[in-house]
Each structure stands twice: as C-alpha cells, then as structure tokens.
C-alpha cells in the first residue's frame, strides 16, 4: 500500500512553469512523508495504489484524515482523494488497503499534511499588530497629554494675566479718581469756600461761579470717562449692532484709520453674555489693529448666519506670524479665544489674507442660543487658524 502521487490543484492564474515547479516540490515532499500547503493552494489531490496485481479490480482502500476541527474524517475507498478548504493546522492522512484475497495492510501509508495559516493569522503578525496598536495608543495618549498640559499652561498664564489686568485696572481707576476727581473737587471746594467768605460783588461773584461750574463739568466728564473705560455705556443703552458702530466710530476718530462697515441689525432677544462677549472681542480686535497692525484700512462685517452671530474684521496691515497666533504668550488672542469658546463659539484668524503677503482677517462666530462650551472649542491651522 502506498501513496502513488500528490499534486496541488493550481490556481487559475498560476502559469505552467510555476505549476511544474510545485509538482516537483510536492513529489519530493511526499518522499519525506510531509507536505506543507500554503494558504493560496486551492486543493490537494492524492492518488493511492495497492501493490497486488493478481486481481486489481478487487483491491480495496480505506482513507482517513486525522486532525483539524473534525479530528477524524473518512474519505471513502476510491483510489483518488481531493482535499480542499482545510483549516490551518496539522493533519495526518492514513491509507490502508486490502488485496483481492481480503488481506488488509493495517499499517498502510501515512502522510503528514501541514496547512500554513495566512500571514495575518500567524503569531508574528499578531505580535506585530499588537505592538503597532500599543505604540499607536501610547502616541495618542502622549499627544493628548501634551495637548492638555499645553492648554493647562495657557489657562494658568491667562488666569495670571487676567488677575494682573484686573489689578492694573483697579490701580488706574484709583489713580484717576484720586488725581483727576480729587483735584477737581478740591478746586470746586475752594471756589465755594471763597464765595461763602466774601461778600458778593457783581463781577467777582460771576467769575467764581463760572469757574466752579467749569470745575464741576470737568469732574462729570472725568467720571463719565472712567465709567466708560470700565464698562461702555453703549452696552447698556444701545443694541449690539449700534454698540459695534459706536465702538468702530470711536476707533476711527482716535486712530485716523479708514473704516468701512456693513453691520446688520442684531436679532432680538440676544443673550446678554453673548452680546457682551461679541462687543469685548470686537474692542480687543480693534485695539490690536491700532497697536500692532500698522493698517490704513479696516473692514467690518456683522451678520446673522445659520443661527449664529458672525463678526469679521479685516485689515490691510502687516499680518500676524503663525508663531504669534499660536504662542501661549499672546495673552490678548488667548483671552479672546477663551471668551468665545466659553459661549460655545468659534474664533478664527487668517493671515495673510487671500494669498497676499499682508493683512489679517479675524472671524468670530457665537451661537444665538445659550450653548456654553465645556470641551474643546476650536482649532488653529497655518492658513486658517481656529482657536
């Protein structure tokens, strides 16, 4: 009893030369008693023979395949067997035969068949994939941790800046109240004391009263100026659109920069915090233009788009380097980002503008509804940087 031949059912795309090489290889493997099937091998054909030529038609075969999920498979009694679709694993093919006289060869022939798994099911691939996933997870965690640490540092810096700015505002207000109002009220008191201690004379009395009234008028103007710097009256008496126009006109008058504006009426019922945020950010943008941009023209557009207020301010100044926009030391920009983010909005800086080498465009979008952010607000890129 022996296994006479073994061959692989070739894939339709396998050329003749390749098939010939495979046939020789399998014959050599048959002599060694072990055949290794690759995942791309479609099926294995085996031919059996009983070495009894007295009456070959009466020879009988028993073919069994051991191993795999079924552990034992009976392949029949034909002199040819085709094995296809075997799962990856280690198998043993056992063939026994009987002659015409009914004498069985129980030892028969044994062939070991090893079906190699696809590369993605090998231990090496699994280990490599696990390593890649671990490295990817580590990189993601490291990147996220670095981003959180950077943001925490920015928030600490911003908090210190806000505290310093608040303290500076208090010092400035106290100094102006002491110096300006104190001097004016002292002068008014001296004029009133003179009027009380001197008999009225037609000319002198009128002059002194006029001087006292002028001093009181100056004091009133100082109070209004200090009050406006602390909180502009426009925020409480005007609509948001009117307040934006008032601020732009004040900027034009002080800076002598040409200003063009298209400011649509703001919708009714705007949340007060959202309106204050939009106005304060607009103030900071104009302040930065006046201090740093060296611009000769400013264009402003305010409108309502898709349930949000959209403010765009463009200047023709020298532009902003990316390092300045992304720097945690740019506290003014960082403060505007946080204000807008707190209201659930987006803050974007584009510089330079429209392919030119100069100019900056700042876009501020704040939703009309009360949707304050607690997570990530926006992002920043080189061409269009989102806060």
What topology does CATH give the domain 2-118? Immunoglobulin-like (2.60.40)
**Alpha carbon of residue 227 to chain centroid:** 42
> Which of helix, strand or coil describes residue 241?
helix
- Does 3.30.565.10 match the CATH number of domain 235-386? yes
Each residue's pLDDT tens digit, 310-328: 999 999 988 887 777 777 6
Tokens at 27, concatenated: 């014959």
Mean pLDDT of 259-286: 88
How much is the pTM?
A: 0.48
Q: Which of 22-26, 122-126, 279-283, 371-375 has the lowest mean pLDDT?
A: 371-375
More confident residue, 271 or 210: 271
pLDDT band at 293, cuts 50/70/90? confident
Can you tell me the distance from the alpha carbon of 262 to that of 276, in angstroms, rounded to the nearest whole number?
Answer: 20
Spans of all domains in the chain: 2-118, 125-226, 235-386
Helices (H), the chain: 16-32, 123-176, 182-197, 202-230, 234-237, 240-255, 272-288, 322-326, 331-342
Q: Is the dihedral of CA 230, 232, 236, 240 positive or negative?
A: negative
């Amino acid at each position: 009893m022996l296994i006479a031949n073994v061959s692989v059912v070739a894939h339709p795309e396998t050329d003749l030369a390749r098939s010939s090489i495979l046939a020789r290889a399998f014959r050599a493997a048959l002599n060694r008693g072990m055949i290794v099937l690759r995942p791309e091998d479609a099926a294995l054909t085996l031919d059996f023979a009983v070495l009894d030529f007295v009456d070959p038609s009466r020879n009988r075969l028993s073919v069994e395949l051991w191993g795999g999920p079924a552990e034992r498979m009976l392949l029949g009694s034909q002199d040819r067997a085709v094995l296809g679709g075997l799962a990856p694993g280690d198998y043993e093919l056992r063939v026994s035969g009987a002659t015409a006289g009914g004498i069985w060869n129980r030892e028969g022939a044994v062939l070991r068949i090893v079906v190699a798994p696809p590369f993605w099911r090998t231990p090496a691939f699994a280990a490599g994939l696990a390593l890649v996933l671990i490295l990817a997870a580590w990189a993601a965690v490291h990147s996220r941790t670095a981003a959180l640490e950077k943001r925490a540092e920015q928030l600490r810096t911003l908090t210190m800046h806000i505290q310093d700015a608040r303290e500076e505002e208090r010092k400035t207000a106290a100094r102006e109240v002491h110096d300006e109002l104190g001097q004016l009220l002292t002068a008014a008191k001296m004029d009133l004391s003179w009027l009380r201690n001197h008999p009225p004379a037609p000319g002198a009395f009128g002059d002194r009263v006029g001087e006292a009234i002028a001093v009181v008028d100056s004091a009133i103007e100082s109070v209004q100026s200090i009050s406006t710097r602390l909180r502009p009256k426009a925020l409480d008496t005007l609509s948001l659109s009117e307040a934006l126009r008032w601020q732009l006109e004040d900027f034009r008058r002080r800076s002598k920069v040409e200003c063009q504006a298209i400011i649509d009426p703001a919708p009714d019922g705007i949340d007060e915090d959202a309106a204050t945020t939009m106005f304060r950010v607009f103030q900071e943008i104009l302040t930065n233009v006046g201090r740093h941009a060296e611009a000769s023209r400013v264009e402003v557009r305010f409108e309502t788009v898709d349930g949000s207020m959209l403010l765009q301010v463009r200047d023709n100044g020298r532009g902003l380097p990316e390092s300045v926009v992304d720097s945690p030391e740019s506290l003014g920009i960082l403060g505007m980002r946080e204000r807008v983010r707190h209201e659930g909005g987006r803050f974007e800086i584009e510089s330079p503008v429209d392919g030119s080498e100069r100019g900056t465009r700042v876009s501020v979008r704040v939703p009309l509804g009360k949707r304050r952010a607690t997570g990530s607000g926006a992002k920043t890129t080189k061409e269009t940087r989102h806060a």
